[in-house]
């Protein structure tokens, strides 16, 4: 959520940000400013009426003491009228405040000046590429065939039990999942992150705090009876961990890592783009979350990105870094990188990590603040997060890029200790 005073002072900038993000034409900003003016007018009228009501109530006692009964009765009638008017104004003020709050939730974050303006994925900038594409002397198999050949996953039984997009991992498939989770967590802890385990469901306030509501409610699974949502990412519970808290400046930065299953009701097309592990409704991911001072947040973004990229390099996966354009970066982000790995058999890039700076946008919704040195009034903190990493497409790329002519699959050296073997298959 943006600061209301910032919106009033920079209305044109916020309108441009909305247009560049493909979220309306900016008229919502005018609607918000108009609603806020009406709210402030109601505050003034309420205060004035309260003053008049207090004066009328005080006059009643004085008139009664002086024996001026007729005038006292008039003062009583006027006091009753003012009390009724005050009640109406207070209700109108509350409704106006609710309207302003609702409109504020509809205004997206403003992109950082370094973010390219664009509307489609083609407008994203390829900022960096690493690694060489594997070369095979045979026809490379897609990961869904490799999974089947090695008995590593069961999509049919997963569909029977839960539905499409909920596979069972079996044998070396389950072993590989566990190895990757432990590898990602161990690397994060070694880099100074605090490991935590979070709830897998959150309430509405938590979903609203990180921006899933009111923007992404159609993408989340909801337990309606209990008013809870299955988490789409650990970002939601972990960032809400410090909702309504105030830190001292020397407590920052705070960095967490958390492994969770993630649940997403993503609408998918048919074909190769959603085959196998390319798009799932339940998947595993290690999430990285930062709480930092505002002046440190863009360095923290680069630190977060570098950590995720080191994981890809250790796994020997060719990847590229995208700087996302305004129209492809999301409602809540001020700046976002995507990391994509090369899928050798599918011959295309697969997204495995999104790394984002939200500046104060999330923290303002959650009222996460800190006290700067020598200051009494708390400031809003900055939050960041990134995938470190999401497993399904990592597994897909590992299998496809490391398949051998004899049908076996090589395990990258950095992962062998966690997996307990150098390869899958004979």
Q: Which single residue is written with the structure tokens 């354009």? A: 325
* The Cα angle at residue 16 between residues 10 and 18, in degrees rounded to 5: 105
Active site residue 66: no
Q: Are strands 228-230 and 379-380 parallel, antiparallel or unpaired?
A: unpaired
Annotated catalytic residue: which of 266, 302, 351, 375? 351
Whether residue 193 contacts residue 256, with contact meaning beta carbons closer than 8 Å, is answered with yes
Between strands 379-380 and 382-390, the pairing is: unpaired
Q: Which of 322, 298, 299 is nearest to 309 (CA)?
A: 322
Which two tokens mark 299?
């360095």
Q: Catalytic residue among 53, 198, 206, 354, which?
A: 354
Active-site annotation holds for 393: yes
Catalytic member of 53, 79, 393, 400:
393
Whole-number Å distance between alpha carbons of 112 and 363: 17
Tokens 């209700």: give the residue: 91
- Cα–Cα distance measured from residue 321 to residue 86, given in angstroms and rounded to the nearest whole number: 58
What is the DSSP annotation of 39-91? Answer: HHHHHHHHHHHHHHHHHHHHHHHHHHHTT-HHHHHHHHHHHHHHHHHHHHHHH
- CA gap 266, 279 in Å, rounded: 8
Query: Which of 39, 264, 364, 365 is the catalytic position?
Result: 264
Cis peptide before 389 (omega within 30 of 0): yes
How many other CB atoms are found less than 10 A from the CB of residue 365? 23
**Active-site position among 255, 279, 305, 369:** 279
Contact 160, 399 (CB under 8 A): no
CA distances from 372 to 34, 110, 248, 426 (A): 34, 24, 7, 60
The beta-strand segments (E) located in 79-195 are 125-130, 153-154, 168-169, 194-195
Q: Is 351 a catalytic residue?
A: yes
DSSP state of 138: S
> Is residue 119 helix, strand or coil?
coil
Active-site positions? 264, 279, 351, 354, 393
């Amino acid at each position: 959520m943006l600061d209301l005073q910032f919106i009033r002072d920079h209305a044109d900038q916020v309108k441009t940000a909305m247009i560049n993000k493909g979220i309306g034409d900016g008229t919502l900003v005018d609607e918000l400013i108009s609603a806020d003016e009406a709210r402030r007018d109601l505050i003034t009228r309420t205060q004035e009426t309260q003053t008049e009501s207090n004066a009328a109530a005080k006059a009643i006692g004085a008139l009664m003491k002086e024996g001026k009964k007729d005038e006292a009765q008039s003062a009583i009638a006027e006091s009753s009228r003012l009390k009724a008017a005050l009640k109406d104004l207070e209700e109108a003020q509350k409704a106006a405040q609710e309207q302003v709050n609702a409109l504020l939730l509809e205004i997206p974050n403003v992109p950082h000046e370094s973010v390219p303006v664009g509307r489609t994925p083609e407008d994203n900038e390829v900022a960096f590429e690493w690694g060489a594409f594997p070369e095979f002397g045979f026809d490379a198999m897609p990961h869904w065939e490799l999974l089947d050949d090695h008995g590593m996953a069961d999509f049919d039984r997963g569909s029977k039990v839960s539905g499409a997009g909920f596979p069972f991992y079996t044998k070396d498939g389950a072993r590989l999942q566990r190895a990757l989770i432990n590898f990602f967590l161990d690397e994060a802890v070694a880099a100074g992150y605090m490991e935590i385990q979070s709830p897998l469901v959150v309430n509405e306030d938590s979903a609203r705090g990180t921006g899933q509501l009111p923007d992404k409610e159609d993408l989340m699974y909801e337990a309606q009876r209990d008013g809870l949502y299955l988490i789409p990412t650990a970002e939601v519970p972990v960032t809400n961990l410090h909702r309504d808290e105030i830190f001292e400046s020397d407590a920052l930065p705070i960095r967490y890592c958390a492994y969770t299953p993630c649940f997403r009701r993503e609408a998918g097309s048919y074909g190769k783009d959603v085959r196998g592990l390319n798009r799932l409704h339940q998947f595993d991911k290690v999430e990285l979350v930062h709480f930092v001072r505002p002046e440190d947040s863009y360095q923290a973004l680069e630190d977060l990105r570098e950590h995720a990229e080191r994981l890809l390099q250790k796994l020997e996966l060719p990847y590229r870094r995208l700087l996302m354009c305004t129209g492809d970066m999301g409602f809540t982000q001020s700046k976002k990188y995507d990391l994509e790995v090369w899928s050798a058999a599918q011959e295309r890039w697969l997204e495995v990590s999104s790394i984002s700076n939200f500046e104060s946008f999330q923290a303002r919704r959650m009222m996460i603040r800190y006290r700067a040195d020598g200051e009494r009034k708390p400031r809003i903190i900055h939050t960041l997060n990134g995938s470190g990493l999401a497993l399904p497409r990592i597994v897909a790329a590992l299998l496809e890029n490391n398949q051998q002519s004899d049908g076996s699959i090589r395990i990258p050296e950095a992962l062998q200790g966690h997996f307990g073997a150098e390869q899958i298959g004979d």
